[in-house]
């Protein structure tokens, strides 16, 4: 069984320690993902992070490998869902709020929608509320064209 994902505080920069493709990796957190985990959900050093939350952060672009990664491929390589901590209603609600305004890469949108639909995140977020960066740019272009 893979060791569950957990938050690690390394000085001022927390990161997620998780199993990716069978090895332990340190996933860098965006400022928004850090705020979600540390400020909104009160996670601290060595706290287990529910797999549902971690996978949503990876697919939503908030947790990345240091060398960069394709969010969908990184999410497919994650392991540790069979152990660790179950997400609370607060975990799911706050993560859903985070995802509503996340900059999701186009190739990860469908995988993230499936993840949301298959988990407790679906109580707080519908698949239609998740959009890609390309969708947002297209919407802004339409608004600008209408002006």
DSSP SS3 for 147: coil
Note the pLDDT tens digit of each residue in 12-45. 889 999 999 889 999 999 999 999 999 999 999 9
Give pTM, 2 decimals.
Answer: 0.87
pLDDT band at 141 (very low <50, low <70, confident <90, very high): very low
Length of the chain: 147
Say whether pLDDT at 1 is over 80. Answer: no
């Amino acid at each position: 069984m893979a060791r569950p994902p957990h938050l690690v505080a390394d000085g001022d920069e927390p990161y997620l320690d998780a199993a990716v493709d069978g090895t332990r990796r340190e996933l860098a957190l965006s400022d928004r993902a850090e705020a979600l985990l540390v400020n909104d959900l009160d996670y601290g050093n060595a706290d287990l992070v529910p797999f549902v939350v971690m996978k949503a952060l990876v697919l939503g672009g908030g947790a990345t490998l240091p060398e960069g990664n394709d969010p969908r491929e990184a999410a497919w390589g994650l392991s540790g869902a069979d152990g660790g901590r179950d997400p609370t209603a607060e975990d799911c609600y706050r993560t859903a709020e985070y995802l509503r305004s996340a900059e999701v890469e186009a190739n990860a949108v469908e995988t993230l929608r499936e993840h949301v639909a298959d988990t407790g995140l679906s109580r707080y977020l519908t698949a239609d509320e998740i959009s890609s960066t390309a969708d947002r740019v297209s919407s802004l272009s339409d608004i600008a064209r209408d002006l």
